[in-house]
Structure 1
């Protein structure tokens, strides 16, 4: 059975590129346009990996990660930040919130697949 990945980003074009890249590698993909929608999708679905942007309206990526980590079913689920934020301070905040890894936009599709494959085992 295909692993299910949730991609959370307020940019429709980024969600489309991520979904296309992941689907072409055989993953099932769910999409959410912001942190609130991402959290509600995660609560109602079984997700193997979450990719989230940082800067979104409503709920940002760090807040989403903290909310997901508070749920028993997502304590150990890999969560990757896919964001334009590349600063060390932001990465430290991400790690503190529970992010598994960090990818900077614009992303290289091959690199995305390598990281996804690595964290999913």
Structure 2
């Protein structure tokens, strides 16, 4: 069965790029452009992985990651943070919020897919 990935990204071009790349690799993808509905979408879609932009309007991706890790239904789902925040301490702060993976924008397809496959393999190892 195809792995399910929720893509939370407010930038239309980035969201489309991530979704197109993931779909081309056989994943079932649910795009979300508004962080305010991200956790609700995650509960209904039940993804195997959440790709989370950190700089979202109205709500921080950091806050969403922290909220997901407090929710018993969402806690086991790994989060790959994709962000323009690439300064000193940013990755550590994002990982402390609960993200299992971190990529700085601009994202290249190779490292992006390697991170996605790596996190999904961890899920498979835990589930299996």
TM-score range, shorter chain: over 0.9
Q: Does 1:94 align with 2:90?
A: no
Give, in angstroms, the shift of residue 39 of structure 1: 1.3
Quick check: 2:84–2:105 contact (8 Å CA) kept in 1?
A: yes
Q: Does 1:13 align with 2:35?
A: no
Unaligned runs of 5+ in 1: none
Give, in angstroms, the shift of residue 57 of structure 1: 0.8
Normalised by the size of structure 1, how large is the TM-score?
0.95
Aligned to 2:77: 77
Normalised by the size of structure 2, how large is the TM-score?
0.90
Unaligned runs of 5+ in 2: 122-128
Runs of 4+ in 1 over 6 A off after TM superposition: none
Deviations 1:33-67 (A, max 9, x none): 12212111012121100011111111111001011
Deviations 1:62-107 (A, max 9, x none): 0010111111122221101111111232212111110101111111
Aligned to 1:3: 3
